Amino acid sequence: MCIIIAKPMGIAMPDAETRERCFRANPDGAGFMFADGKTVRIRKGFMTLESFEEALEEELAGFDTTETAVVMHFRIATSGTVSQATCHPFPISGDAEKMRETRLDSRFGIAHNGVISGRTTYNGWSDTMDFVADVVAPLMRMNPSFMHSSDALELLEGACQSKLAIMDNSGEIATVGKFIEDGGVLYSNDSYLRRVTRWSSYGSMFAGKGYYEAYPQYKETWPASIYDYDDDLTELVDALPFGACAECCQNEECALTHPECETDKMASNMKAWYNGETQSDELVLASYGSYED
């Protein structure tokens, strides 16, 4: 799944190793945004780690990186195409051309982690872009202070059922959905962590193939019709191995890549965490084995 790193003002920048782990786990393009007090500078479309790091260093030269708010996004393409234009962040705008630009300044910027069901997608247009144009941009026009309104943020969370990081030109950051706080930095999931012990996943057992390819081989009995996947995720979501998967808002991402969970307990913990039934990040992280800081 994608990951958002939201670093507020006054917090040290995550180190290069952390950024590299995020890119390696989410390799379909990266981008970042930061505020200079007048505008949000959006830079995206970096398809290699080297180009991302070079741009980050160049753009932040002359800024105190601790005192500058920065949001970074590393993408796995679950809708739309793998392209520079569909990388995050995006300006909050209904203008499709602006949303596809890889270098622009805006009053607000936004990054998304998750899958938003029911949105229009096609070549060069993703679920996030559609949601921003159809939902977030009109909300911004109605209430320019929307990101500081708990009601507005709750509305967005209910509408997207996933995670957002929004930045304004002052450097304030608002998040939607559950983030992990680590050293003052907010992460939309745990793929920034270095795993000491890894669980085996169906995808990794079959040379990185997606779940819809790997699961039939793993089970050996799954019907060949699953290969006839035609943009309808119903069969793939139904094929996820645990009962809690059906109620977890990350199930579509798991179906398109590989399951994040390896046991029924892990799936239940993940579902409870995403659905707000527990406030304990440690409950979820503990079920994934050991990690190093």
Q: What are the residue boundaries of the structural domains of the chain, listed by start?
A: 3-187, 196-292
pLDDT of residue 233: 55
**Which CATH code for domain 3-187?**
3.60.20.10
Tokens, residue 171: 């450097």
C-alpha 144: how far from chain center: 24
Q: Is residue 284 within 8 Å of 269, Cβ to Cβ?
A: yes
pLDDT of residue 266: 78
pTM over 0.85: no
Tens of pLDDT, residues 73-98? 999 887 668 899 999 999 999 999 99
Tens of pLDDT, residues 195-251? 533 334 444 444 444 555 555 554 443 444 444 444 445 656 666 777 787 777 777
Per residue of the chain (293 residues), what is the pLDDT tens digit? Answer: 689 999 999 999 999 999 999 998 889 999 999 999 999 999 999 999 999 999 999 999 999 999 999 999 999 887 668 899 999 999 999 999 999 999 999 999 999 999 898 898 888 899 999 999 999 999 999 999 999 999 999 999 999 999 999 999 999 999 999 999 999 999 998 888 875 333 344 444 444 445 555 555 544 434 444 444 444 456 566 667 777 877 777 777 676 655 667 777 777 877 777 666 654 444 444 444 433 33
Strand-strand pairing, 90-91 and 108-113 = antiparallel
